[in-house]
Amino acid sequence: MRTISIQNEDGNQIAIQAFPIDEVGANERADFFTKRSVKKDSKLSALYLALSMCDLTTLEGSDTPGRVQQMCAKARFPVPPDLIEPYLIKRKAGPIPSVAAVCVYPSMVPIAVASLKGSGIGIASVSTAFPSGQAPLNVKLDDTRFAVENGATEIDMVINRSAFLSGDYQQVFNEIVAIKKACGDTHLKVILETGELGSYDRVRLASEIAMEAGGDFIKTSTGKINPAATLPVTLVMLQAIGDYYQRTGKKIGMKPAGGIRTSKQAIQYLCMVNETLGPEWLTPHLFRFGASALVNDLLKQIFKELTGQYYYDKVFSID
């Protein structure tokens, strides 16, 4: 283990531990969760929980106001109430939850704000020259302030991977601190882009820097790079969160993003969170899925549990 020295805003040195990760052990431990299954009423509860943790996302150059409005309508009402109400009554099940947040580019934040007014659904916006992070700091700060001033309740920033991979950890730290300050009270999710970091050791170190710099969440990926979220990478980040909590008493959230497409996968992640950090983290306040493709499969599986039959995907909308 080596120690990285970072200087904070007060000029004091912060010692960040660079833990070596047993890659074989992490892979084997993560594989253990792929063998988990949840049945009957517990499965329906898990599906509901996973849906409530999703950030419904559109981050394309072809995004239009209409597309964002359609996504926001789906966020508020994942399925038409009259389609599911009889089955909910029959099963004595609660209403299907809305998602935790929608995630859009800063320019689309005003559209999302207007569409979700009064819903309680979070409005996340990617920032800091997403997805590359290759822009001057003043541009990244302007990007962040624009989103916050227009109503974003969460900011998803990308770290400076160029600086990180060059060993300039101080610059990575300083940029996160500056973005956090620009966020004010808005929650900050720090995207590591783990697919570009190259090793579990670097994922662990990037997680430590992001948490020490003030990130409220750490997030695997932008969804634009493969590999994106994986169980082993998420496990490494969850363990970093657990160790940070033991040291500081501060709970940091986790968001795996990209590549999680099925309900079965989502439940595996929930099992891993529960066994690594405990049930306190099984809440949208501390755990999210950045996986829009996951939403339709969750709805499909919820319908299967409620009605005994599968509905075709177009019932839930084509995204």
Catalytic residue among 189, 255, 297, 300: 255
Residue pair 26/73 in contact by the 8 Å Cβ criterion: no
Q: Confirm whether 219 is a catalytic residue.
A: yes
Q: Which amino acid is at 214?
A: G
**Measuring CA to CA, how many Å separate 29 from each of 26, 104, 245, 276, 282?**
5, 34, 21, 11, 20
264 flagged as catalytic: no
Respond yes or no: is residue 304 known to be catalytic: no
Dist. CA 108–CA 70, nearest whole Å: 13
Q: Which one is catalytic: 74, 180, 189, 219? A: 219
| Catalytic residue, candidates 156, 189, 216, 297 | 156
Q: How crowded is the C-beta side of 239, counted as CA atoms within 13 Å?
A: 19
Active site (catalytic) residues: 156, 219, 255
